Amino acid sequence: MWSKHCYWRGVPSTVLAILLISGCSIERFKDPIIVPGIDEDLYIDLWEDLYPTHTELTFQVETIAPEECLNVTIATELSKANQRLDLDILAIVPPDNCEPGEAPARGEAPAGLLTSGTYAMEVHLQNEITSRATLEVTPEYYRVEAQEENGFLWRHKELRRVPTNTLWGYVAATNTALEGTAQNWRSQLQALGLASTLEAGYYGYFRIDESGEAVMNPAAATPVALPFLIRFDGNESSVTTLVNSLRQQGPQGMSVKVWSGRGRAW
């Protein structure tokens, strides 16, 4: 098993010093780590950043086990050339000022705008463990075909792409007595467009289950949280007008969040 606290390849000397002080000995660096049945210490996930004119892929990395601070990060590098991607996971970096609590360490590796096609991919852990995969990019999805998963797991191997004419979000209420109002608000938002016909799958910002129901990611942590997902071909000013009206006139305890496939948020 490789130690999640002892990545060091390519890490600046200041960071390496911190790692050594925190208890990563030279002997542990020398431990043989390329072994069958290596433990999985990380998740790698696919995420699509949405913009008005294009989208970009990002690889998200996080530890499976929590760290002892809320703001521990993971240093990564990504190189891209000739239909090839190399993702290097370099180090788990402790913060200068620990925010108390437990949470996974997290990092991101932006891949940017990827044209449709198939990309050969390698994931390198500490420059000692290499896992190969292919990444298929189409207008409908990003899909990973993993040949190995050494030291990590792909959290999702397929990310469905959000069409630009998609509008989604949720209406939330802090009191179940407001559920009727929440349902009315959701009906008004759904009336802005047509019922969505997106396929079941994981879209990053939400998931559509086999019954066609949308599940927000993350879901609102309130007693009432009503998601909605529609096809929207109208002018975004109508969304702004409705959302502002609901917020201004609604009772205390009500809230609404809306996003679009063009990267807009209300």
135 and 171 co-located in one domain: no
78 and 112 co-located in one domain: yes
170 and 128 co-located in one domain: no
Inside any domain, residue 216: yes
pLDDT grade, residue 181 (50/70/90)?
very high
Q: Which pLDDT value is given to residue 24?
A: 36
Inside any domain, residue 137: yes
Inside any domain, residue 1: no
30 and 155 co-located in one domain: yes
176 and 60 co-located in one domain: no
**Among residues 140, 160, 180, which one ends one of the domains?**
160
CATH assignment of the domain containing 171: 3.30.70
**Among residues 160, 195, 229, which one ends one of the domains?**
160
242 and 174 co-located in one domain: yes
Q: Which pLDDT value is given to residue 80?
A: 95
Taking the C-alpha atoms of residue 46 and residue 87, their distance in angstroms, rounded to an integer, is: 13
45 and 92 co-located in one domain: yes
What is the chain's mean pLDDT, rounded?
87
Q: Encode pLDDT of 45-76 as tens digits.
A: 999 999 999 999 999 999 999 999 999 999 99
Q: Encode pLDDT of 97-115 as tens digits.
A: 999 999 999 999 999 999 9
Q: Which pLDDT value is given to residue 39?
A: 58
Is 159 a residue whose pLDDT tops 50? yes
180 and 118 co-located in one domain: no
| 128-145 average pLDDT score | 96
Q: Which pLDDT value is given to residue 222?
A: 95
Inside any domain, residue 265: no
30 and 121 co-located in one domain: yes
Q: Encode pLDDT of 8-45 as tens digits.
A: 333 443 333 333 333 333 232 233 333 334 456 999 99
115 and 205 co-located in one domain: no
Which residue segment(s) compose the domain that 95 sits in? Answer: 13-160
155 and 60 co-located in one domain: yes
Indicate the number of domains in the chain: 2
